């Protein structure tokens, strides 16, 4: 069995302790991909030191030259898309169709930020004084800690790494322990593209043993984290005590809303895709479907029939609509949520228990699950499940549908279905979410647009698009006085 090492300072490096952990295929736990380094704070310190040493030379590299490396990495990613997609499917379970999309998102992100290498614009403004110039430009933040989840094991690291790189930062990536090999593959590609040693480092291991020491390291200037709101709150508190920057992309309890004039056919397709794709393991997955009472019975009947045809199975199998749950702990968490919902009075329409027949007994499979008779105060209507489970909630009218969508501590993604331009405009204004889709699913963010949420879905920052540049850069303001005398702003 192959042992995979950390990527530190441009070299493959064993963990200081020599400990490793198994990387297991969630569709078949008999399939062990290898063993990854189980890093601790000593490995983190080595990686941060390598990033710190590489920071100066990389920051002084002109941004257009940095961009050339990003562009080359996009070309390499394109060429190795199928290999990387098959690794993603085997490592975290999603279907090959979705795994290819995961890689494509990284390709798109690389191209976008390569273009930003010649557009890291600042501003020039008039001074209130004569013979004086005022201008601003971006500077890197420093060493960045990137802590990423397992559900998009290449796309999300790329969302963080590429804007950080184009701004001139160095970094240490700590991927989720369920998907270490995808991150190491990504590191190989960046190295092959010509990224200097030490600019991008990867340490694998658990959140407690490697993630926490990385976030708390005194030489780390910024922590970019994607994961649960509970963990994000802990990181924010830690960074606050140290006056350290943090950018948090957290949970969601996303609502897909059918107003009275919704196109039922279109809404059905969108609900299936956004509730059950990636086994519901997306922060933007539709976990609440709020339906106008006049459409509710028809929608429930059609949605249930279609959901029963969406079968979980191995990601390599073309017949699988979605893949396994990532690990046993997550599978058991999903089951607890469903059982509690039934105890609280919800009605289980379909699904609702792990699938263990035949070859599925060696994996973590959970069927498409629909709950009705869900009321807003139930936990299933308020807590993130992160599985192929969605709750149908009936609204008495359009106004109540929007109110129910907002009755949640999260505010990441939302979708509204209507044939009315006026109703769409009103919903866009009133929905409390960082992202709103009109007549589409709650999933499907594009690389050139800001991504993030309000309320407990984040701390105000946005990933992707030019908005991410504001996370990974500092503004430098310059006053250039050519008057030959001391001028006093406001006084003179």
Query: Where are the strands (E) in 399-492, listed by range?
Result: 410-411, 413-417, 435-438, 454-455, 473-481
249 as an active site residue: the answer is yes
**What CA dihedral angle connects 217, 219, 221 and 227, to 10 degrees?**
-30
Is 134 marked active-site?
no
Partner residues linked to 170 by β-bridges: 143
Q: What is the helix (H) or strand (E) element at residue 7, kind and residue range?
A: strand 6-8
Q: For residue 100, how far is the Cα from the chain centroid?
A: 16
Q: Which two tokens stand for residue 78?
A: 């394109």
**Region at 105 (left for phi over 0; alpha for psi -120 to 50; beta for the rest):** alpha
- Which is the catalytic residue, given 91, 98, 209, 249? 249
Nearest-angstrom CA–CA distance, 138 and 474: 6
**Cβ(363)–Cβ(251) below 8 Å:** no
What does residue 437 show for φ and ψ, rounded to 5 degrees? Answer: -105, 140
Residue 61 carries which DSSP code? Answer: S
Q: Go through the chain and tell me how many residues it has.
A: 492
Backbone CA torsion sign across 117, 118, 123, 129: positive
Q: Which of 167, 283, 408, 463 is catalytic?
A: 283
With beta carbons less than 8 A apart as the criterion, state whether 171 and 164 touch.
yes
Give strand ranges (E) for 239-359. 245-249, 254-258, 286-292, 347-350
Alpha-carbon distance values, 432 to 291, 406, 427, 440 (Å): 18, 6, 9, 17
- Cβ distance 26 to 327 under 8 Å? yes
Which tokens go with 449?
């647009």
| Residue 413 DSSP SS3 | strand
Note whether 336 and 345 are within 8 A (CB).
Answer: no
- Residue 422 makes CB contacts below 8 A (sequence gap 6+) with none
Map residue 85 onto helix, strand or coil.
helix
Query: Rounded to an integer, what distance in angstroms lies between the CA atom of residue 321 and that of residue 310?
Result: 5
In Å, how far from its chain's centre is CA 95? 18
Which active-site residues does the annotation give? 249, 283
């Amino acid at each position: 069995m192959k042992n995979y090492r950390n990527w530190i300072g441009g070299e493959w490096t064993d963990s200081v302790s020599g400990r490793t952990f198994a990387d297991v295929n969630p569709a078949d736990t008999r399939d062990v991909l290898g063993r990854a380094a189980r890093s601790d704070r000593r490995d983190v310190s080595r990686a941060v030191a390598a990033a710190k040493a590489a920071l100066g030379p990389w920051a002084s590299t002109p941004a257009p030259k940095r961009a050339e490396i990003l562009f080359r990495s996009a070309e390499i990613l394109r060429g190795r898309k199928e290999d990387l997609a098959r690794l993603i499917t085997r490592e975290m379970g999603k279907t090959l169709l979705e795994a290819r999309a995961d890689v494509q998102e990284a390709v798109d992100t690389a191209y976008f930020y390569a273009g930003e290498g010649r557009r890291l614009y600042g501003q020039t403004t008039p001074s209130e004084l004569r013979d004086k110039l005022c201008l601003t430009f971006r500077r890197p933040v420093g060493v960045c800690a990137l802590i990423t989840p397992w559900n998009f094991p290449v796309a999300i690291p790329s969302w963080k790494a590429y804007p950080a790189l184009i701004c001139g930062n160095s970094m240490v990536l700590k991927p989720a322990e369920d998907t270490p090999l995808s991150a190491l593959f990504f590191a190989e590609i960046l190295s092959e593209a010509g990224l200097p040693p030490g600019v991008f480092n990867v340490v694998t291991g658990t959140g407690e043993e490697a993630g926490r020491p990385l976030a708390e390291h005194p030489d780390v200037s910024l922590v970019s984290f994607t994961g649960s709101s509970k963990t994000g709150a802990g990181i924010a508190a830690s960074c606050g005590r140290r006056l350290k920057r943090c950018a948090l992309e957290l949970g969601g309890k996303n609502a897909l809303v059918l107003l009275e004039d919704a196109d039922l056919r279109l809404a059905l397709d969108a609900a299936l895709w956004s509730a059950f794709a990636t086994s519901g393991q997306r922060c933007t997955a539709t976990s609440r479907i709020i339906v106008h009472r006049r459409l509710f019975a028809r929608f429930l009947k059609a949605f249930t029939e279609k959901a029963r045809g969406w079968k979980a199975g191995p990601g390599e199998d073309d017949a699988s609509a979605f893949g396994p749950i990532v690990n046993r702990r997550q599978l058991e968490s999903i089951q607890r949520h469903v059982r509690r919902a039934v105890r609280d009075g919800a009605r289980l329409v379909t699904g609702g228990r792990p699938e263990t027949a035949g070859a599925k007994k060696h994996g973590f499979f959970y069927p498409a699950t629909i709950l009705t008779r869900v009321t807003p105060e139930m936990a299933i209507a308020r807590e993130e499940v992160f599985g192929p489970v969605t709750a149908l909630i009936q609204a008495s009218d359009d106004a109540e549908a929007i109110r129910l969508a907002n009755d949640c501590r999260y505010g990441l993604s939302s979708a509204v279905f209507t044939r009315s331009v006026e109703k769409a405009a009103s919903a866009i204004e009133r929905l409390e979410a960082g992202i709103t889709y009109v007549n589409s699913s709650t999933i499907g963010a594009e690389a050139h647009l800001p991504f993030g949420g309000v309320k407990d879905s984040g701390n105000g920052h946005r990933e992707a698009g030019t908005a991410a540049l504001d996370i990974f850069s500092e503004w430098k303001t310059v006053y250039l006085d050519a008057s030959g005398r001391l001028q006093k702003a406001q006084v003179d």
